[in-house]
Each structure stands twice: as C-alpha cells, then as structure tokens.
Amino acid sequence: MRKIALLMLLLGPFALAQPPQKTVKQFLKLSQSDTTSYLVKGVVSKVRSSTSGSFYLQDGTGTLLVYGLQDPARPGIGFGKMDIVQGDTLTVLGRFTLYGGSTKEMKDGRLIAKADGPDHDKSFMERLDQKPSFKGKQGPEAMKAFKEWCQSQVKTPADGATGRVWVRFVVGRNGRVQEVQIERSAAPSLNEEALRVVRSSPKWKPAKNDGTALRTNCSVAIDF
C-alpha cells in the first residue's frame, strides 16, 4: 500500500488509483487513440541509448521499446544517472505511441520501480559490447599488447634511473590516446619518458556499445 500511495503522490493528477497493468504483448496491441497510461513490468534486454533513455523491455510475451524514460522521484535526472543496465527488472508507466507510423513504443514513460540485475556486479568494461582494441586484441589482451609495445619504445634515461611508472590515459571515440597523465610516479626522468611513449601510441579501435563509440579510461605500467 505504501508503494501505491507513493506512486499516486508522485504522479499527482496522472492517477487517482493504481494504474492498470499490461503485459508487453497487450501493450503493443493498444490503439493510438488509447490515451490511458499503463504499467508494464519486464527485464531490460538491451540499452539502446543512454543519452535519450532508449532501451528494450522484455517479459515472457514480447519486447517493448521504451524511449525517453523519466524518474518522477528525481525530476531532471537524466537516464545515464538512473543506473539502469541490461538485466535490471523495471516497472514503467506510460502510453502507447506509434512512431513514424510503424514503430510501436512507450514514449516518455515514468520509472516506477527497479530491481538490479546480475550485470550490476560487472565492471563498465565487462558491460561493453566491444572493448577497446589494440593491434587486434581486446580487453586484458589489448592492455598486455599495449604494455609490450610501450616497453619496446622505452629509452633508458641518461641519469640511469630505474623504477615503474603507472600512466593513466583515455582511448577516445576516434581511437586516439588522449588525456595522458601520471597515475603513480617515479623519478622525474622516468615520468617524462613514460608520458612520451604513451602519447606516441598508435591508434586504437574504440570501445562500442550498441554500435556507438565510447571513451574509455585505461592505465598501463611501464618498467625501467
């Protein structure tokens, strides 16, 4: 009862009683003229765009495209900050919309409830469809290949200093290495050489999710 009361409070004039609930199949059979808002519960099968709040919600009856999701409990909060990933169970509220005359969807729906799925235990890298790639290798293998490449480019400083330098960098959407910084320093001469080497990196293939290139944070240890 508390959840129902909270839902009514958040929705204000949107509802005088608990909204009716539909399966995905039932929702997709609605008419464009139906202006009733329905509850639909399912599992996020794929996040299409974290910018527009576009994702697919699936139950045992079908798959529904949800576009422009909002959280009435946190007005103005973008989808990216809702921490919704594949595998989460959501209850959403919205009206049936036919976009472009053919795409059946729920547009500008409201997030009513969320239960985290198993993918919340995964790191950002593990959730990616395509991890950043260096010389044809992805994930840990890409970082291993990059470290080997860095070691092959290192020049011994004139002062003969030895040690290990950790360098943090970003693989940009265009695949170029950017924002190179010292993460854990050693002697100044080693820091300078490590920065030089990482900045001279060949182009990578950027990480991707749903076909969209993403910036990714990486780090590498260079030994002298």
Domain ranges of the chain: 2-121, 125-223
Give the integer Cα–Cα distance in Å for 24 and 43: 11
Where do runs of H (alpha helix) occur along 12-97?
24-28
Query: Does the structural domain 2-121 have CATH classification 3.60.20.10?
Result: no
* 166 alpha carbon, distance to own chain's centre: 26
Give the integer Cα–Cα distance in Å for 144 and 91: 42
Where do runs of H (alpha helix) occur along the chain?
2-11, 24-28, 124-127, 139-153, 188-199
pLDDT digits (tens, 9 = 90+) for 1-47: 444 444 555 555 544 567 899 999 999 999 999 999 999 999 999 88
Q: Could you tell me the two tokens for 116?
A: 């985290």
Pairing of strands 103-107, 62-67: parallel
Binned at pLDDT 50, 70 and 90, residue 197 comes out as: very high
pLDDT digits (tens, 9 = 90+) for 136-190: 998 889 999 999 999 999 998 899 899 999 999 999 999 999 999 999 999 999 9
Give the integer Cα–Cα distance in Å for 120 and 104: 29
pTM above 0.75, yes or no: no
Secondary structure letter of residue 66 according to DSSP: E
What are the phi and psi torsion angles at 107 (to 5°)? -105, 140
Secondary structure letter of residue 83 according to DSSP: -
Q: Is 3 buried (19+), middle (13-18) or exposed (0-12) by CB count in 10 A?
A: exposed
How far apart, in Å, are the Cα atoms of 86 and each of 50, 123, 179? Answer: 12, 13, 30
* 3.30.1150, 1.10.860, 3.30.465, 2.20.25: CATH of 125-223: 3.30.1150
Mean pLDDT of 190-208: 96
Residue 36: how many other CB atoms lie within 10 Å: 10
Mean pLDDT of 67-88: 87
